[in-house]
Structure 1
Amino acid sequence: MNAATTPGRFISLEGGEGAGKSTQVARLAELLAARGIHALVTREPGGTEGAEAIRTLLMQGGVNRWSAHSEALLFAAARADHVEKLIRPAIGAGQWVICDRFIDSSRAYQGVAGGIDDAAVMALHGFGSRGMLPDRTLILEVSIEEGRARAARRDGAAADRFAARGNDFHADVAAAFRRFAAQEPDRCRLVDASASADIVAAAIHAQLADLLP
């Protein structure tokens, strides 16, 4: 199967720190490849030269380096470049795109946890990325304690500005993702990420069954 016979799809994976998004992005790409679909794997912030430069600004430095409003603007700028230069062209060419985080992370981290109204976050998204949304968003859920333990094993002492924040912040992020899933059940699907990588991958596969050729 090739791009000429496969409609382009946009899939995002979301969740808190240590939920296993990067692992499952790779597993999903393998699943699609086995079905003859070569997926473009990307991440946010990042994915293009300009967005990766903004990623460095956002992820490094002290927790209070940027306010939530400044972060929202920087994420929106990075996403606008990402969407314009990579995501839209790929989907337009019939390709599948799998993204490690997208707009729902901004809604959760800068919006709910950062105290910015969701409408303001989405207005930035509407202007910068013309309101683009994934066809399906898989929200990986794991307890804050387990997620932080996984992130610590992964990052050691090199935790980024977001992973380093307190439990109250991460509890707000988790609650926000659950709210999005309740509000948009056709697009957003919750996946229990506390199980083994194989079991989580199978659950993700099941949540994408209606989109798979």
Structure 2
Amino acid sequence: MIKLENVSKSFTLHNQGSAVIPVMEGAGFDVAAGECIALVGASGAGKSTLMRMIYGNYLTAGGRIMIGDLDVARAQPREIIALRRKTLGYVSQFLRVVPRVSTLDVVAEPLLLTGSAPEAARAHAQELLARLNIPPRLWPLSPTTFSGGEQQRVNIARGFAYRYPALLLDEPTASLDPVNRATVLQMITEAKARGAAIIGIFHDHAARDAVCDRVVDVTGFTPQAAA
């Protein structure tokens, strides 16, 4: 479902004489349907950079990133939009939403964008919010005013609302209490069971061990390692 081949990335520092800094070379691995892999490596090794390339936020310098039949590294913007709508979900660490949109509509939006009836989409959103212990009194409010833990749970509910064939998870259990952490791990397990291919960053080692089938150490993809 997900396949990376010889992926590389560099950044150009335009405010420092356009110096080019290589940050990744030769990245390659694949993720099968129903498999969860964890990206590991020291801070700054390139885990988040790699996730952003897979999602299409960062351009690659070379290589291929296949999500199904689409090469994200060469895809047109309209293809990336379509991929994110129906194929590739992303649960980031931080919730980014339009202010004044209700929490219920924030979670229901991925379903509405893929053609679900509004009533069914909001009913499923309610189920997810209840499962993640977001009280009903908060559903009509914008999540921009919520605590960090509440915002993260809204983000998770939104990311799992639609059954994406592929998922990217950036620290999905950070800042969660034990009860909600267990719920999120169960949701990841359920996504795997229905065939989702999942890539995650988990600094919570126990969570990583609970849901991940293997790890990929991105340290091996740094230019120094490749040299």
Higher helix fraction (1 or 2): 1
Specify the TM-score bucket, using the shorter chain as the normaliser: 0.3 to 0.5
TM-score normalised over the length of structure 2: 0.36
Larger radius of gyration: 2
